[in-house]
Structure 1
């Protein structure tokens, strides 16, 4: 039962193989098994590749099954259309397009399996890329908020400088009126005279202005600090909203690019393995000697070809004979006087009818 299934997978004529030897049947069963298991590998590979795209098991398996059946049909067609006819060079030329197609199929099958085999290494490469993208994303977003942040911080520094300048002014006035009271500067008179009182009033006024300035500027600084906090929250929110895009950077194209950054030799050997599997039925057919099945298939096809060619030739000869007979018949008829007189009579009657019709039309017109 299994042997018969693999023979069907090989694309061989089962009716002819039934009459062939056991060895010939085993050869085509082996070719069919290779075709079948290549399709199974294509199903697994495409299912995994599509899972990285759709992230859904059922969809991936469904599309993977369709892809596996497509590869199975292509391989079966490739193997079944290679005929053991003519010399080896003719057979090789016949198989060249099929070998190119097998090469393409091998690439398509091997790549998804390479992604699975080197999954851990690819994840490491993607992690490094995601970290770099995260840092770059934070820097790019920060560039959007930096001008506003710098402006707010400069406003805070300006308000604080105003307080510092006013404090320095108040301290200077304080030292001035104290020195006046001690008699170490100004009038150089010890005691609290009119000059002292004047300088003390200036200090008190400036001190009151300082207190008011501190109150006003602290309120302004508090408002600006609130704007800075909101600006920081907006920055964190935008970083948080864009991070899932970076976290989801692990699709099929990203994994293929990550695979290309890894050493090429392991991937190349895996590709060669699948290339050998994919082309093995074709190579086996090319290298194997012409067997019993090939002779019987050629005998059947050439017999049909001979019958078809014979029927075509018979139709050509029959048509040629019909043309000659028709030519002779019409040639003989053209020489018969009876037929001439009959056609002459009919032609005369037709001309008379035409003349009568023309006469009636002219009569109506007048």
Structure 2
């Protein structure tokens, strides 16, 4: 049962193989098994690749099965159409398109399995890229908020500097009127005289202005700090909203790019492995020695070709003979005087009938 299934996979003529030896049937069963397992590998690889795209098991299995059947049908067709002859160049010429296609298919089906084999290394590369993207994203978002925040901070600095300047002037007036009272400066007289009173009033006026300035600038600083806090909240919100996009940066293309950043040597050998698997059916057919089945198959083709050629030649001869006979018959008829007289009488009769009919029509018109 299994042998018959693999022979079916090889695309060989089962009727001819039934007349061949058991060894010949085993050879083609082996070729068919290679075709079958190549399709299985294509199904697994494409199913995994499509799972990374659609993230759905049933969708991946469905399209992977279609891809596997496509590869199976293609391999079976090409293997069955390669005819074993004594000319190796002719066989290679038949196999050249399939070998070229095998290289393309090997690249397609090896990449998904490479991504699975090197999944941990790819995840590490993706993690580093995500971290770099997160930092870059924060820096780019910060460029939108930093100038505004720096401008607001500068306003706070200016307001505080204005308070500090007014406070310094007030303190200087305080030292002045205290020194006047102690007699260590100003008039040099000990006690609270008119000059002391004047300087004290000036200090008290500056102190009132200082308190008013602190209250006004304090309110402004609180308002600016609230604006800075709001901008900080907006910045953090923008970072949080954009982070899921970065976290989702692990699709098929991202993983292929990450795989490309790993050392090429292991990936190259995996590619060679799948190239060998993909070309296995065609190589198995090319390397297999010419056997009993090939001779019988060639004989059957020769019989059919000879029969078709004979039929074509017979039809050509029949057509040529029929044409020659027709020419001879019509030539003989041309020489018959009796037939000539008969046709002449009929033609004259026809002309008389036409003339009578025309005359009747003219009379009716009058």
TM value normalised by structure 2: 0.92
Measure, in 2, the Cα distance between the counterparts of 1:155 and 1:339: 129
Measure, in 2, the Cα distance between the counterparts of 1:348 and 1:202: 150
Q: CA deviation at 1:5?
A: 0.9
Q: Residues 346, 5 of structure 1: CA spacing in aligned structure 2 closer, same or farther, 3 A cutoff?
A: farther
Equivalence for 2:138: 138
Task: Confirm whether residue 341 of structure 1 aligns to residue 344 of structure 2.
Answer: yes
Equivalence for 2:308: 308
Q: CA deviation at 1:219?
A: 1.3
CA contact (8 A) 1:9 1:76 kept: yes
CA contact (8 A) 1:170 1:203 kept: yes
Task: Confirm whether residue 51 of structure 1 aligns to residue 51 of structure 2.
Answer: yes
Q: CA deviation at 1:288?
A: 2.2
Structure 2 spans left out of the alignment, 5+ residues: none
Q: CA deviation at 1:323?
A: 3.1
Equivalence for 2:284: 284
Measure, in 1, the Cα distance between the counterparts of 2:173 and 2:142: 45
Measure, in 1, the Cα distance between the counterparts of 2:237 and 2:346: 104
Measure, in 1, the Cα distance between the counterparts of 2:349 and 2:323: 29
Equivalence for 1:220: 220
Q: CA deviation at 1:183?
A: 2.6
Q: CA deviation at 1:266?
A: 1.1
Measure, in 1, the Cα distance between the counterparts of 2:319 and 2:78: 40
Task: Confirm whether residue 98 of structure 1 aligns to residue 98 of structure 2.
Answer: yes
Structure 1 spans left out of the alignment, 5+ residues: none
Equivalence for 2:27: 27
Q: Which moved more, 1:311-320 or 1:99-108?
A: 311-320
Equivalence for 2:249: 249
Measure, in 2, the Cα distance between the counterparts of 1:230 and 1:2: 74
Corresponding residue SS for 1:191: coil
Q: CA deviation at 1:332?
A: 4.3
Q: Residues 164, 342 of structure 1: CA spacing in aligned structure 2 closer, same or farther, 3 A cutoff?
A: farther
Q: In the TM superposition, what are the counterparts of 1:59-70 in structure 2 within 5 Å? A: 59-70=59-70
Q: Deviations over 1:34-59 (max 9, x none)?
A: 11111111111111111111111111
CA RMSD of aligned residues (A): 2.3
Equivalence for 1:167: 167
TM value normalised by structure 1: 0.92
Equivalence for 1:204: 204
CA contact (8 A) 1:333 1:339 kept: no
Corresponding residue SS for 1:254: helix
Q: Which moved more, 1:103-112 or 1:318-327?
A: 318-327
Q: Residues 325, 186 of structure 1: CA spacing in aligned structure 2 closer, same or farther, 3 A cutoff?
A: farther
Q: Residues 13, 163 of structure 1: CA spacing in aligned structure 2 closer, same or farther, 3 A cutoff?
A: same
Measure, in 1, the Cα distance between the counterparts of 2:69 and 2:258: 29
Q: Deviations over 1:66-98 (max 9, x none)?
A: 111111111111211110124112212222122
Q: Which moved more, 1:93-102 or 1:320-329?
A: 320-329
Q: Deviations over 1:3-26 (max 9, x none)?
A: 111111111111111111110111
Corresponding residue SS for 1:188: coil
Q: CA deviation at 1:145?
A: 1.0
Q: Residues 275, 349 of structure 1: CA spacing in aligned structure 2 closer, same or farther, 3 A cutoff?
A: farther
Q: CA deviation at 1:283?
A: 1.9
CA contact (8 A) 1:130 1:249 kept: yes
Equivalence for 2:71: 71
Between Structure 1 and Structure 2, how many residues are aligned? 363
Q: Deviations over 1:302-331 (max 9, x none)?
A: 212222222222222333333334444444
Measure, in 2, the Cα distance between the counterparts of 1:350 and 1:301: 66
Corresponding residue SS for 2:229: helix
Equivalence for 2:117: 117
Q: Deviations over 1:125-160 (max 9, x none)?
A: 111111111111111111111111111111111111
